[in-house]
Amino acid sequence: MTITVILTLCTALNGLPGLFSAQDTGSKAAESPSQTTPKRVENRSLGCSFDLPSDGAGFVSGGTVKPEIRAIQAESNPPAWEIVAQRIEFPTPEGAFGDPKPITPTRMLKAFVADAEKSNDGKLEIGQQINDLRIDDLPASKLTAYLGHESGRTARFDWTFIQTSANRFLLLQFLADRDRWPTATFDKVMKSLKIQTEPELAIGSMELVDRGRANIELFDKTALKSVISRLQDGAYYRLEGTDPETGKSSELGFSRIIAMETTRDAVRDSRAPAPNTKNLADDETGLLVWMQVRILPRVSKGPYQDVDLRAWLSWDREEEWWTIRTTTRIKGSDTTRTSAVTGLRPRPLPKDPRRWIQVISGGRESFERKDVKLQVPDLGAYLSEAERLVLPELLATVGAAPGEFGVYAWNEDRLSITRRLEDWRPGKDSRQPGTLLSRPAADAPTATQILGADDILQERITQLGMDQITWSKIKLEKLRGLYLQKGIPFDG
């Protein structure tokens, strides 16, 4: 009956070691007012956002299944406080058919307290309870509890249950030392809290996807061929990493991207693809986006990687193929290690009318193989791999309306089809180029893609861990000269 509450309680108490395992630094930064506009942390799947304290760092995780926000005080070690926001459901007895009593924040709080007392052998001291609250105009209840730590200090928990649907709640947890409770910090977070209910999230999701469908409807053969006219000669990009703490940059590698009209055989061929010169019929050709990436060694005499990505799409969007081959080698050695990912979405047939996508991955040197087959939810709201690679150029070509939209696409990191969140900001003129803010999932970091005056991607900024990765468009001759100046071999 109470497993959902017990698991959530265990998760909440897991924050103790991080806050009390090391010597307290006595940091008072949490109480100091911020002189700048607060940075907000948001989890779109959770439907929750709040202003991040000036000395805090925020993290979003959990995907759509267990969405969560975690914020910690980042200027001392261990952190002086922690904030966690997560989804929790009212526990339902197994085999129960409905519940005649209305589920309220007060009932949720009582169920939570009951589990807390059972699972902590009376060590958790229950403090103040406030049953009738309104937070962001939603019903809520609040509980304060204390738990002694082996260090001799006492942890204070403030748990607030905010109802977002009939049996679902947002649990907001504040955790800090009882004797150093940062009241001002937590009060500011609570005042800045914005919450979406489950119905509001569902309606918002539908509206985003509808706007995405309207954009994808514009991606016809003419639009796809216009991308070829822009990228048929290829574009080079310099890959640079920046350490956020030191500001020091490093050369990570370079890439080249080309678009052409050709057959799908170019995806499976290991040779360099070539454009169609045989005047084949339109149903035999399509758009191929070919990207090559050279990743430089991070240490002296370390391995470097070559990535060959080819994504093909038929003109009617009903069929797609792609491959990603990654080869790792060391200069002066004949030894290589290769892995590959192959994706295919075959054309629907009368005997098999469903649209599905199959992705196969594995390495040449091992017998490990992953094979994922998923049904495509809706082709009208689905982005192919080729379209994903040139999405900013496509949006500029078709004159897409500004604003946020949602589309579904294959997510390599999660081995599934996820809903991407895109925010298109078209340029007004050549001095203000278009910008696309992309997230492969609601809890994923944002990639900023900036077009140039020629409506070709000029710069792409992403996060890899704490590092910032920048792809900057560059002339081949300038890239070669830059590498020569830095003593980096260039054979691109």
Render pLDDT for 317-350 as a digit per residue (tens, 0 to 9): 999 999 999 999 887 777 788 899 999 999 998 8
Average pLDDT, the chain: 86
The pLDDT value recorded for residue 31 is 39
pLDDT in tens, 147-191: 887 778 899 999 999 999 988 999 999 999 999 999 999 999 999
Q: State whether residue 24 is helix, strand or coil.
A: coil
Residues 186 and 219 in one domain: no
Give the pLDDT of residue 5. Answer: 46
Is 182 a member of any domain?
Answer: yes
Q: Taking a C-beta distance cutoff of 8 angstroms, is the pair 378, 212 a contact?
A: no
230 in Cβ contact with 259 (< 8 Å): yes
Q: Is the pLDDT of residue 430 over 70?
A: no
In the structure encoding, which two tokens stand for residue 52, read together?
A: 């991040």
- Domain assignment of residue 201, yes or no: no
Instruction: Identify whether residues 140 and 172 lie together within a single domain.
Output: yes
Written as one string, the DSSP assignment of 222-275 is HHHHHHHHHHTT-EEEEEEEE-TTT--EEEEEEEEEEEEEE-THHHH-SSPP--
- 267-281 pLDDT per residue, tens: 998 899 988 777 777
Write phi, then psi, for 76 (nearest 5 degrees): -145, 160
- On whether both 37 and 95 belong to a single domain, the answer is yes
pLDDT score recorded for residue 14: 60
Q: Is residue 492 part of a domain?
A: no
- From its phi and psi, is residue 39 left (phi > 0), alpha (psi between -120 and 50) or beta? beta
Count how many domains the chain has: 2
Whether residue 175 lies inside any domain: the answer is yes
| The dihedral sign for the CA sequence 328, 334, 335, 340 | positive
Same domain assignment for residues 396 and 479: yes
Q: Does 278 lie in the same domain as 389?
A: yes
Rg (CA), the chain: 26
Q: How confident is the model at residue 444 (pLDDT cuts 50, 70, 90)?
A: confident
Q: What mean pLDDT is predicted for residues 226-233?
A: 94
Q: What's the confidence (pLDDT) of residue 2?
A: 42
Which tops the pLDDT comparison, 129 or 466?
Answer: 129
Does residue 292 carry a pLDDT above 50? yes
- Tell me the per-residue pLDDT of 3-23, one tens digit each, with 9 for 90 and over: 344 445 545 556 666 666 654
The residue from 196, 226, 260 where one domain ends is 196
List the beta bridge partners of residue 460. 449, 471
Question: Residue 226's pLDDT is what?
Answer: 95
Average pLDDT rounded to a whole number, residues 114-125: 73
Torsional sign, CA 273, 470, 328, 415: negative
Q: What is the pLDDT of residues 24-83, one digit of tens each?
A: 444 333 333 344 566 899 998 899 999 999 999 898 888 777 899 999 998 888 889 999
**Pair (370, 392) in one structural domain:** yes
- The alpha-helical segments, DSSP class H, found in 127-197 are 183-192
Q: How confident is the model at residue 377 (pLDDT cuts 50, 70, 90)?
A: confident
Domain boundary among 149, 168, 196: 196
Q: Let me know whether 239 and 376 are in one domain.
A: yes
User: Does residue 437 sit within a domain?
Assistant: yes
189 in the same domain as 249:
no
Residues contacting 208, CB < 8 A, separation 6+ = 404, 405, 406, 419, 421
Same domain, 191 and 214: no
Question: Residue 433 contacts by C-beta under 8 Å, 6 or more apart in sequence?
Answer: 427, 450, 451, 452, 453, 455, 458
Which residue, 196, 219, 245, sits at the end of a domain?
A: 196
pLDDT in the model for residue 93: 57
Considering the domain architecture, whether residues 243 and 342 belong to the same structural domain is answered as yes
Residue 491, in any domain of the structure: no
* Distance, CA of 32 to CA of 30 (rounded, Å): 6
Task: Please report the DSSP string for 171-184 in residue order.
Answer: EEEEEEEGGG--HH
Nearest by Cα to 454 from 388, 386, 387, 397: 397
Peptide bond into 297 cis (omega under 30): no
* Residue range of the domain that includes 466: 207-486
Q: Which H helix or E strand runs over 290?
A: strand 286-295
> Binning pLDDT at 50, 70 and 90, where does residue 362 land?
confident
pLDDT given for residue 26 in this prediction: 41
CATH number of the domain enclosing 8: 3.40.1000.10
Residue 202 placed within a domain: no
- The answer to whether residue 85 scores a pLDDT higher than 60 is yes
Q: Which residue, chain included where needed, has tokens 């991955």?
A: 361
Alpha-carbon distance 28 to 25, whole Å? 9
Strand, coil or helix: 370: strand
Q: Which of 85-89, 122-126, 291-295 has the lowest mean pLDDT?
A: 122-126
**Together in a domain, 366 and 434:** yes
If asked whether residues 143 and 88 sit together in one domain, one would say: yes
Return d(Cα 143, Cα 434) in angstroms, integer.
48
